């Protein structure tokens, strides 16, 4: 299937995907607590929440007593790392499908207010949300390699889900923003047991991003050994180099006015997925920025509609 929201000189085909992957290492919950959602004004002072929601939708989500937001500390490679769980407040015997959301950015503090309204939208469509923060962020132990060993913090969520109530582990979906898109691609490559995946603003070709002086400087700030290990670092994080390993159905979304990651990165990967006869869709939002800020409701609706096609009983 091909979804295009602006005229593009691409003809992409959709084919059958490969078999599901095996389960990953079990994650162990170390601590679990209800997260106290700050006021809008407090969130504005400490986060970039204004890039992700409006005051009215934020307040509505914060006041919705049907749901609860929890902060989890769980074990990953011997480290205590952080994830967030957004679920119905009242547990029922109904098992809900799960979206594992992968944030963007590098090392971050407490960015939960930025994610709240998205979690709320996804929960209102019938999904539970789990969001790993990766090692080194939000009080988590360890060092973030931005797609290195920190990938295990996502892979170990597969086991973590088995410890959560009312979670349907037969229906798990991956969703990623920017850097989180890159994490989703790697997780698929390494066998994360999900039914389908969606990304927005994801980068697929680190070589292209590191080709400028500014890109090289950024790369060196994240990977001090970038010059010595350039080939390995780029290859591991560039899905454009291994499209044959992306066996899950994929929905790739991007804004045409993305100033951080060119939409060409998504379109080039889509072309390679077509050549590899993979199952995928692509949506380019005219005028959309890196996070699809002004198309956020439509963006999440499209992702959920895509995921629903791959729900199993």
* pLDDT of res. 165: 87
Does 3 map to a domain? no
Does 15 map to a domain? no
* pLDDT of res. 93: 67
Does 7 map to a domain? no
Q: How far apart are CA 299 and CA 103, in angstroms?
A: 15
> 211-234 pLDDT, tens per residue?
888 889 999 999 999 999 999 999
Does 57 map to a domain? yes
β pairing state of 67-76 and 96-102: unpaired
CATH number for 152: 3.40.50.1820
* pLDDT of res. 255: 98
> 37-53 pLDDT, tens per residue?
999 999 999 999 999 99
* pLDDT of res. 215: 87
Residue 83 CA: distances (Å) to CA of 20, 188, 197: 24, 19, 19
Does 6 map to a domain? no
| 3-state SS, residue 176 | strand
Does 11 map to a domain? no
Does 4 map to a domain? no
Which structural domain, as residue segments, surrounds residue 111? 28-308
Residue 165 CA: distances (Å) to CA of 22, 128, 153, 162, 168: 21, 11, 20, 8, 9
* pLDDT of res. 249: 98
Strand order in the sheet with 250-255: 28-34, 67-76, 79-88, 128-132, 96-102, 167-177, 196-200, 250-255, 280-285
Phi, psi at 213, each rounded to 5° = -60, -40
Q: How far apart are CA 299 and CA 297, in angstroms?
A: 5
Torsion angle of alpha carbons 71, 109, 115, 208, nearest 10°?
Answer: -130
b/e map 35-50, b = 16+ CB within 10 Å: bebbebeebeeebebe
* pLDDT of res. 168: 96
Total domain count, the chain: 1
User: 58 near 116, Cβ under 8 Å?
Assistant: yes
Does 50 map to a domain? yes
* pLDDT of res. 280: 97
> 46-88 pLDDT, tens per residue?
999 999 999 999 999 999 999 999 999 999 999 999 999 999 9
| pLDDT tens digits in sequence order for the chain, 313 residues long | 444 444 333 333 333 333 333 334 444 899 999 999 999 999 999 999 999 999 999 999 999 999 999 999 999 999 999 999 999 998 766 899 999 999 999 999 999 999 999 999 999 999 999 999 999 999 999 999 999 999 999 999 999 999 998 899 999 999 999 999 999 999 999 999 999 999 999 999 999 998 888 889 999 999 999 999 999 999 999 999 999 999 999 999 999 999 999 999 999 999 999 999 999 999 999 999 999 999 999 999 999 999 999 999 9
């Amino acid at each position: 299937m091909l979804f295009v929201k602006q005229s593009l000189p691409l003809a992409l085909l959709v084919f059958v995907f490969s078999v599901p992957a095996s389960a990953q290492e079990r994650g162990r919950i170390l601590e679990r607590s209800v997260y106290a959602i700050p006021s809008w004004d407090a969130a504005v002072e400490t986060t970039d929440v204004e890039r992700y929601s409006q005051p009215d939708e934020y307040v509505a989500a914060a006041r919705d007593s049907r749901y609860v937001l929890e902060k989890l500390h769980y074990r990953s490679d011997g480290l205590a790392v952080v994830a967030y769980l957004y679920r119905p407040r009242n547990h029922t015997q109904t098992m809900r499908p799960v979206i594992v959301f992968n944030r963007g950015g590098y090392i971050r503090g407490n960015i939960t207010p930025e994610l709240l309204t998205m979690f709320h939208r996804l929960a209102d469509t019938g999904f539970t949300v789990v969001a790993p923060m990766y090692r080194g962020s939000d009080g988590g132990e360890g060092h973030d390699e931005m797609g290195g060993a920190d990938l295990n913090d996502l892979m170990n969520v597969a086991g973590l889900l088995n410890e959560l109530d009312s979670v349907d582990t037969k229906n798990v979906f991956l969703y990623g923003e920017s850097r989180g898109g890159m994490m989703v691609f790697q997780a698929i490559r390494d066998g994360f047991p999900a039914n389908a995946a969606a990304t927005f603003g994801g980068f697929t070709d680190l070589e292209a991003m590191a080709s400028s002086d500014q890109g090289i400087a950024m790369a060196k700030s994240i990977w001090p050994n970038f010059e010595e290990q350039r080939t390995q670092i780029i290859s591991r994080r560039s899905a454009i180099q291994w499209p044959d390993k992306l066996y899950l159905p994929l929905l790739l979304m991007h804004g045409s006015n993305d100033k951080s990651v060119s939409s060409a990165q998504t379109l080039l990967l889509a072309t390679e997925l077509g050549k590899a006869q993979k199952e995928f869709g692509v949506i380019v939002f005219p005028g959309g920025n890196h996070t699809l800020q002004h198309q956020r409701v439509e963006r999440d609706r499209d992702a959920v509609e895509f995921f629903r096609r791959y729900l199993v009983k």
